[in-house]
Structure 1
Amino acid sequence: MNYDVNFTELSYKTLAALTRYMESLLGQDEAIRLGHQLLDFAINKLGDNPLQFPISHELETLGITDYRVVLVDNYKILFRLGEDKTSYVMAFLRQKQNTQELLYQIMIG
């Protein structure tokens, strides 16, 4: 299918926050490795066939239907598809992290 994959400024901020949080649990080297693995996963899977991933149910309940989510182990990657065959990575989160709360923080931040 071959989509381009772009990372938004917000995706880099959320990835940095995620790795800082995970550093306290995993140690610095493992947290950095996790960050790189999530980036690589996003590039490979969202570049190949992003349509295989479902619309975010959490956001769909708010009427937002253009965000999709990828679950990777204990993490999730939130992304949108552009009409130009581009996957736009919007955020990296822990799997149990509330996507609606993140969206709210973004709106007021």
Structure 2
Amino acid sequence: MSSTYTVVASPLFKLSQQRLAAFLTEKYSATLTQNTLMNIKQRIKQDLVTHPTLAPISERLLALGIADYRQWQVDQHNLLFYRLNEQKQRIELLLLMDSRQSLQKLLFELILLI
């Protein structure tokens, strides 16, 4: 697999990142939030861009009828959902969430915000 893939963050991804940051800051601290988000960004650049197929198709989203997104456990508590567009050589980021959250509830809340 070539490392020429570019990463594109969807508006939904950006909202979910803001929601995750708010959750982490409220529950823990701004420092932990900043470190967590920096770590995720670094892992996307180092691991995902060079190995875009590293994650399997998401069973959570498949259960909702969405079959083309992959689910990556970025670290102990955070999941990244993304789609691979091989024709355009793009990794399209969909959602970032804490693994203890309800995916259905988060998607519903985010869609209401769009």
Identity of aligned residues (%): 20
Equivalent residue pairs, number: 109
1:77 partner amino acid = L
Structure 2 unpaired stretches of 5+? none
| SS at 2:49 equivalent | helix
CA–CA separation in structure 2 for the residues paired with 1:36 and 1:46: 15
Query: More helix per residue: 1 or 2?
Result: 1
Q: Following TM superposition, by how much is the alpha carbon of 1:85 offset from its aligned partner in structure 2, in angstroms?
A: 1.5
C-alpha separation in 1, matches of 2:88 and 2:78: 27
In structure 2, do the counterparts of structure 1 residues 13 and 51 end up closer, same or farther at CA, with 3 Å as the change threshold? same
In the TM superposition, 1:1-109 aligns within 5 A as 1-2=2-3, 3-71=5-73, 72-82=75-85, 83-109=87-113
| Contact in 2 for aligned 1:42/1:77 (Cα 8 Å) | no
Once residues 52 and 21 of structure 1 are traced to their aligned partners in structure 2, the CA distance between those partners, rounded to angstroms, is 27
TM-score (norm 1): 0.87
**What's the TM-score, normalizing by structure 2?**
0.84
- Give the SS at the match of 1:91: strand
Deviation string 1:16-64 (CA, Å, 9 cap, x unpaired) is: 1101111123211221121121122122222111212111101111221
Counterpart contact for 1:77–1:91, Cα < 8 Å: yes
Question: Which moved further from structure 2: 32-41 or 72-81?
Answer: 32-41
Give the superposed CA RMSD: 1.6
Q: For the residues of structure 2 that align with 1:51 and 1:67, how far apart are their CA atoms?
A: 11
